[in-house]
């Protein structure tokens, strides 16, 4: 069970990191076009918090 849980958390973290990269790319495109990126930056902050949460869970399970 613990290994399955660990793998699930790792997968979730990887998905969040992919989403984060996508949003950073979108921010660059919008900034280049002079568009507002404040909403995307808020999303990045939320995703970073989630990544930190899953990183901590993974560390606990790997110990």
The chain-wide mean pLDDT, for the chain, equals 95
pLDDT digits (tens, 9 = 90+) for 20-47: 999 999 999 999 999 999 999 999 999 9
- The pLDDT, as a whole number, for residue 27 is 98
Q: Alpha-carbon distance 12 to 28, whole Å?
A: 25
3-state SS string over 39-57?
Answer: HHHHHHHHHHHHHHHHHHH
3 pLDDT band, cuts 50/70/90, is: confident
- The pLDDT, as a whole number, for residue 63 is 80
- The pLDDT, as a whole number, for residue 2 is 83
Distance of CA 29 to the CA centre of its chain: 19
């Amino acid at each position: 069970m613990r290994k399955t849980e660990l793998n699930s958390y790792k997968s979730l973290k990887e998905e969040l990191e992919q989403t984060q990269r996508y949003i950073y790319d979108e921010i660059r495109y919008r900034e280049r076009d002079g568009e507002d990126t404040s909403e995307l930056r808020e999303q990045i902050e939320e995703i970073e918090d989630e990544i930190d949460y899953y990183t901590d869970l993974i560390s606990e399970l790997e110990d």
